[in-house]
């Protein structure tokens, strides 16, 4: 058992911030977690072993990083804020299995980093407390780049976690739910109150676990067109699926009759709204629409 004093306590966090005169940047969405039990739960949920490589995004002062370092084979963390580099060098000095990369993860070649840093890891998990303002772009990059990772465990805004894990027919279900559930099995693990952060954010957070699927749950002929149809269907939530498709697909108005016919042929009432369609229905719809829309 590691005897180093945990970073994620209110006292130790304040001590570190005062030592370095650190001030939070709102533009970077910096909120540091000060509850060790929640951090341990996050690491538990990630299912790390001594053979696992862990990728972290936005390590802050190293609170989650140290918990990962105690469980994983190696931790590679991307930090965009240069002011945090000397702090991390200090707080993580007891751990030899940590590497900090000073880079915006959205611009990073993560595949190359994995190839260089995790040559002998049995599997790789991304585990992070994500800044709210870039949550969705980061998760989508990790999934659409088709990286060799087992999954992602992240803390994010509760509202976004609700949308990611939402089921058809609910108010939170939308194009984000479908995009992420297409690539992963998504599960909301727990809600995290705003009171366990310094500074306190305006909203509660949640931890979500995304385990990558070996293959998508539906067969689509053209992935990018499938997602185009999904986005079009949710463009204006109050509109019917027919009106959304007509308004938001290229040349939709000119092909209104064809779109209506395809909906009906696929057992979808044109008056339904996008949030009532399952992923299977969207797959069948996009495959049929592709033949008439992509001429």
Would you say 58 is a known binding-site residue? Answer: yes
The edge-to-edge listing of strands for the beta sheet with 52-57 is 98-101, 74-78, 52-57, 123-129, 151-157, 205-212, 184-192
Is 293 in contact with 249 (CB distance < 8 Å)?
Answer: yes
**For residues 14 and 159, what is the distance between their CA atoms, to the nearest angstrom?**
28
Would you say 31 is a known binding-site residue? Answer: yes
The residues, any chain, with a CB within 8 Å of residue 170's CB and separated by 6 or more, are 275
Surface-to-core class of residue 267, CB atoms within 10 Å of its CB (0-12 exposed, 13-18 middle, 19+ buried): exposed
* Residue of 160, 138, 135, 156 whose CA lies nearest to 205: 156
Would you say 104 is a known binding-site residue? Answer: yes
Tokens of 145: 């780049």
Would you say 18 is a known binding-site residue? Answer: no
Annotated binding site for S-adenosyl-L-methionine: 31, 33, 58, 79, 104, 129
Annotated binding site: 31, 33, 58, 79, 104, 129
């Amino acid at each position: 058992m590691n005897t180093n004093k945990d970073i994620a306590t209110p006292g130790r966090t304040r001590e570190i911030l005062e030592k370095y005169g650190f001030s939070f940047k709102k533009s970077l969405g910096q909120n540091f977690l000060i509850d060790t039990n929640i951090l341990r739960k996050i690491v538990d949920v990630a299912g790390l072993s001594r053979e696992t490589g862990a990728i972290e995004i936005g390590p802050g002062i190293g609170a989650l990083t140290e918990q990962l370092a105690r469980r994983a084979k190696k931790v590679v963390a991307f930090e965009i804020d240069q002011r945090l580099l000397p702090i991390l060098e200090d707080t993580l000095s007891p751990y030899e299995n940590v590497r900090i990369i000073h880079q915006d993860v959205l611009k990073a070649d993560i595949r190359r980093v994995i190839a260089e840093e995790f040559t002998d890891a049995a599997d790789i998990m991304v585990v992070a407390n994500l800044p709210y303002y870039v949550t969705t772009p980061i998760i989508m990059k990790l999934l659409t780049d088709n990286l060799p990772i087992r999954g992602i465990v992240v803390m994010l805004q509760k509202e976004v976690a609700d949308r990611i894990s939402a089921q058809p027919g609910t108010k939170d279900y939308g194009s984000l739910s479908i995009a992420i559930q297409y690539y992963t099995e998504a599960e909301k693990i727990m809600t995290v109150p705003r009171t366990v952060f310094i500074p306190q954010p305006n909203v509660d957070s949640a931890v979500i676990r995304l385990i990558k699927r070996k293959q998508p749950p539906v067969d689509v002929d053209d992935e990018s067109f499938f997602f185009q149809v999904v986005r079009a269907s949710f463009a204006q939530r109050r509109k019917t699926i027919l009106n959304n498709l007509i308004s938001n697909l290229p040349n939709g108005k000119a092909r209104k009759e064809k779109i209506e016919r395809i909906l009906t042929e696929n057992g979808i009432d044109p008056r339904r709204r996008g949030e009532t369609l399952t992923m299977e229905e969207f797959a069948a719809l996009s495959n049929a629409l592709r033949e008439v829309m992509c001429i």
